[in-house]
Structure 1
Amino acid sequence: MAPTIFLLLTLLSIAESTAGKGGGLKLELIRRRLSPGNVSPMAAKSQIWPETSEFIVKIAIGTPPTEVHAILDTGSDLFWAQCRPCAKCYQQTNPIYDPSKSSTFRILSCKSPQCHLRGSGAACSGTDTCKYSYGYGSGSTQGELASEKMVVTSRSGATTSFPGVVFGCGHNNSGTFNANEMGLIGFGRGAISFVSQIGPSVGGRKFSLCLMPYNTDPRISSSLSIGSGSEVKGPGVITAQLVRTSDQTSYSLTLTGISVRKTLVPYSTSGPPAKGNAVLDTGTPPTLLPKELYGRLAAEVRRHIPSKPIDDDTLCYKDNLGDLVMTLHFDGGVDLRLSTIQTFNKMPDGSFCFTAMSVDDKDALIGNSMMANFLVGYDIDNMTVSFKPTDCTKAG
């Protein structure tokens, strides 16, 4: 959700947990259909739902536990939840977490090493309490950094506990969050991210997820895995080396161009593209491309589709697009072939709309719509990302 213009909601509930035995975690991923008018710019295996436009992790916080549904975001690190007392909280359907009722809640002091972890948004001023402030393209959160017991529960009832997880207790939260979103759980590369904190106890800082296409039946679920067992292997796997940039949170690749069928559209017409110019972000549905690149790509898309778009300003079509193959070209000769499932969303009115849009930025962001029907594995320790074409509606 780094520079998010749109968000995508999904709800995670645990399907199976083996972390207590030294293995990873498995949760169920369920996707709900995007609600018109409500679009906003683990080895643990979990359930993902498509609801509005994000992926939400279902996790219990505190003693006794309060269930929190937090947006899963690979574009940020901090895990935060709305907390009482609320100076400013957006409307929330489920009860807001109250730290005064938890025996395991501990506010971090400014002297705590955890207060100074990169990616925490922490700041100390005037008091010994470790405060934080974190902003997104779609909102912001402020509060105190604290540690708390986190618990995930399997469908069979088995639970796995993670004591002392650092998170943000948010007392001032605003943005385009809806009433089902109780916070955000960062799966970035930073030391304070949820996957980095629990990784050593579940077999490594790695995870994989399988995102279903936009119009998937909400009763169908897929999976998210964290730690041991989350590796993406086998025939058809495409692996790319992540690029280390000054941004120690994001999963960055070098995008050299995009092909429409056999026609290459270079990323830049004025020289080689910058290293790490494309970020993978599950918190943003559309793919965001620099304006100049998007213009050249859109022209090629129009040229290869025989029918005219619904209007001149969008790449939305009434007709079936057929087999319009596009390919993302990454540095190192890594080519990711995309079908219309990844490049066009089927809308409620039956039309098909392009999953990329233009932005005033020199870098690109590859959103979750373009990652649909891929099993995507992120390995922080080895700095790789792997893609395996998969029917995510059948990958429970």
Structure 2
Amino acid sequence: MAKTINLVIICLFFNLLSLVIISSGLRLKLTHRDSPNSPLYQPNLSDFERFNKNIEISKARASNFFHQFKPQNVSLRAPLTYHEPIYTVDIGLGTPAVKRTFIFDTGSHLTWTQCKPCIKCFRQKQPLFDVKKSVSYKLMPRTNKLSKGFECSHIGCVYGVKYYSGQFSTGVLSLEDFTFGTSAGVPRRILNMVFGCGMNNHGSFGEKNVASGILGMDKEPISFARQLGARIKNRFSYCLTNIDSGKIKESYLRFGEEAVIKGKNTRSTPFLRSTPHAHYMLKLTDISISGRKLGLTQGTFPEGCLIDSGSAIGLLNEKAFLKVEKFLTVYFSRFKNVRRVVGKQVPKGLICYMNVVPTGSFFAKLPNMTYHFEGADFDVPWENTFVVFAKGMFCFAAMKSQNATILGAHQQRNVRVVYELRDDKLSFAPEDCSRDAI
């Protein structure tokens, strides 16, 4: 009788535990490279040097996103993007779970990591993932529905991803369990996720050799988000915090029932479906500064606007950028203590000013900005429109690009952004992202 009661109690316990896990949304901590909590943090850089670094990252990603790369081998699925990471996530891989540090990238499809045995691997701090030490590891069979587009045999399937900036990874497509954190504090394991086990890899995937691979989150069926599918109600979100003056509040990548907008003022715009790639492109019709539309004509943004948390600042194609530059020239001509900064002090393609008599009240007069997307306006307050430095210098937080237009991470701060994959749309609303971890 006692054994029967104990068995019932144990069953009830595990049933309750499963309910807690199911009702608790999955989440991963997003760590910004400029946060002191990031393994990529460089403490000796000044704010302006960090800004310059982020500019180079944004430029490189733009060239990757909008460059039409044609692979010679069908196993190379491109174009893809990568340069230096802005955000990283830690996630458990295998059984028993071992921590892997991935680059969070909404512009890549395949999730992959370096595996042992390795023919050629780049340096990383974490040990290579040893498939022999995981009881849940197996090769993905060619009968798997995600094998389409890859080279397969009766043994399994191989993959190859090549990035325009020179990095690449090749290996075998595999199945493995991934372990997430949850809001209830109880880890949750997702079984049999398809990922790439890289055995021939090349390139620098982040300073300090921290990253071991990429967490691919684009719209392709094989992406991590699309694989999770109904288990996360086909949606994920983030709310990016300010990275200012060492006052760091972590951001979180949230899935499923946690990936929701809790307040009002929700706005939504559809993803473009006419583009040839699986990136998150939006239809941008015009831009306003300080409440005044620039009057950009139809066709100014033929490829749309890419929303990308991996680009530190925004980019505007040349036609739109020149309109913004003209507006800001007139706007700041009203202030006698403000002058344009040019020359070697400013990276090419950037608009910067110096307030000779800096005061806190002046910066509150900086204009805000609005991106007019199809059916929804994305408001960017002055704190996200500009980057302010010491001694009165400030720069417009988007730079000129030949053809790319990107809504970067700086413009997205303190906004809940929800990627709704089933409805093929982006939803967003203002939120105090510093409270996201509460």
TM value normalised by structure 2:
0.74
Matches within 5 A, 1:32-71: 32-33=34-35, 35=42, 36=45, 39=54, 40=57, 41=60, 54-71=86-103
Deviation at 1:156, TM superposition (A): 7.0
Structure 1 alignment gaps of length 5 or more: 1-16, 42-51
What's 1:169 paired with?
A: 197
What fraction of aligned residue pairs are identical, expressed as a percent?
Answer: 26
Is contact 1:209–1:376 with CA below 8 Å preserved after alignment? yes
Counterpart CA distance in 2 for 1:390 and 1:155 is 19
What's 1:258 paired with?
A: 287
Structure 2 alignment gaps of length 5 or more: 1-17, 36-40, 61-83, 356-361
Deviation at 1:20, TM superposition (A): 2.9
Amino acid at match of 1:228: E
Amino acid at match of 2:273: R
Deviation at 1:241, TM superposition (A): 2.2
Deviation at 1:146, TM superposition (A): 1.0
Deviation at 1:242, TM superposition (A): 2.2
Deviation at 1:167, TM superposition (A): 0.8
Q: Decide whether aligned partners of structure 1 residues 308 and 359 sit closer, same or farther in structure 2, where only a CA change above 3 A counts.
A: same
1:324-346 per-position Cα deviation (integer Å, ceiling 9, x unaligned): 111111123x2222112222223
Q: Decide whether aligned partners of structure 1 residues 344 and 181 sit closer, same or farther in structure 2, where only a CA change above 3 A counts.
A: farther
Is 1:384 equivalent to 2:425 in the alignment?
yes
Is contact 2:20–2:184 with CA below 8 Å preserved after alignment? no
1:354 to 396, 402, 410: 396
What's 1:315 paired with?
A: 351
Is contact 2:173–2:196 with CA below 8 Å preserved after alignment? yes
Is contact 1:22–1:201 with CA below 8 Å preserved after alignment? no
Counterpart CA distance in 2 for 1:175 and 1:294 is 31
RMSD: 2.9
Q: Which has the higher mean CA deviation after the structures are superposed, 352-361 or 250-259?
A: 352-361
Counterpart CA distance in 2 for 1:289 and 1:340 is 17
Is contact 2:24–2:183 with CA below 8 Å preserved after alignment? no
What's 2:8 paired with?
A: none
Amino acid at match of 1:20: I
Counterpart CA distance in 2 for 1:154 and 1:281 is 25
Partner SS for 2:229:
helix
What's 1:151 paired with?
A: 179
Is 1:329 equivalent to 2:372 in the alignment?
yes
Q: Decide whether aligned partners of structure 1 residues 27 and 246 sit closer, same or farther in structure 2, where only a CA change above 3 A counts.
A: same
Is contact 2:171–2:198 with CA below 8 Å preserved after alignment? yes
Deviation at 1:19, TM superposition (A): 7.4
What's 1:8 paired with?
A: none
Is contact 2:158–2:170 with CA below 8 Å preserved after alignment? yes
Deviation at 1:221, TM superposition (A): 2.0
Counterpart CA distance in 2 for 1:216 and 1:165 is 39
What's 1:200 paired with?
A: 230
Is contact 1:72–1:185 with CA below 8 Å preserved after alignment? yes
Deviation at 1:155, TM superposition (A): 8.1
Aligned residues: 360
1:208-266 per-position Cα deviation (integer Å, ceiling 9, x unaligned): 11011242636422332101231224322222222213445222211112112143224
Deviation at 1:154, TM superposition (A): 4.8
Q: Decide whether aligned partners of structure 1 residues 273 and 360 sit closer, same or farther in structure 2, where only a CA change above 3 A counts.
A: closer
Is 1:369 equivalent to 2:397 in the alignment?
no
Hey, which of these two has a bigger chunk of strand by percent? 1
Q: Decide whether aligned partners of structure 1 residues 95 and 176 sit closer, same or farther in structure 2, where only a CA change above 3 A counts.
A: closer
Partner SS for 2:102:
strand
1:257-280 per-position Cα deviation (integer Å, ceiling 9, x unaligned): 211214322444xx4456761111
Amino acid at match of 2:221: A
Q: Decide whether aligned partners of structure 1 residues 83 and 353 sit closer, same or farther in structure 2, where only a CA change above 3 A counts.
A: farther
Is contact 1:283–1:368 with CA below 8 Å preserved after alignment? yes
Q: Decide whether aligned partners of structure 1 residues 193 and 19 sit closer, same or farther in structure 2, where only a CA change above 3 A counts.
A: farther
Counterpart CA distance in 2 for 1:145 and 1:267 is 45
Is 1:244 equivalent to 2:312 in the alignment?
no
Q: Which has the higher mean CA deviation after the structures are superposed, 289-298 or 216-225?
A: 216-225
Amino acid at match of 1:114: L
Q: Decide whether aligned partners of structure 1 residues 116 and 19 sit closer, same or farther in structure 2, where only a CA change above 3 A counts.
A: farther
Is 1:215 equivalent to 2:244 in the alignment?
yes
TM value normalised by structure 1:
0.81
Is contact 2:21–2:184 with CA below 8 Å preserved after alignment? no
Counterpart CA distance in 1 for 2:23 and 2:183 is 19
Amino acid at match of 1:335: D
Hey, which of these two has a bigger chunk of helix by percent? 2
What's 1:342 paired with?
A: 384
Q: Decide whether aligned partners of structure 1 residues 176 and 162 sit closer, same or farther in structure 2, where only a CA change above 3 A counts.
A: closer
Partner SS for 1:309:
strand
What's 1:141 paired with?
A: 169
Q: Decide whether aligned partners of structure 1 residues 235 and 58 sit closer, same or farther in structure 2, where only a CA change above 3 A counts.
A: same
Q: Decide whether aligned partners of structure 1 residues 99 and 354 sit closer, same or farther in structure 2, where only a CA change above 3 A counts.
A: farther
Counterpart CA distance in 2 for 1:250 and 1:218 is 32
Counterpart CA distance in 2 for 1:243 and 1:18 is 37
Partner SS for 1:67:
strand
Amino acid at match of 1:186: G
Deviation at 1:177, TM superposition (A): 2.2
Q: Which has the higher mean CA deviation after the structures are superposed, 232-241 or 205-214?
A: 232-241
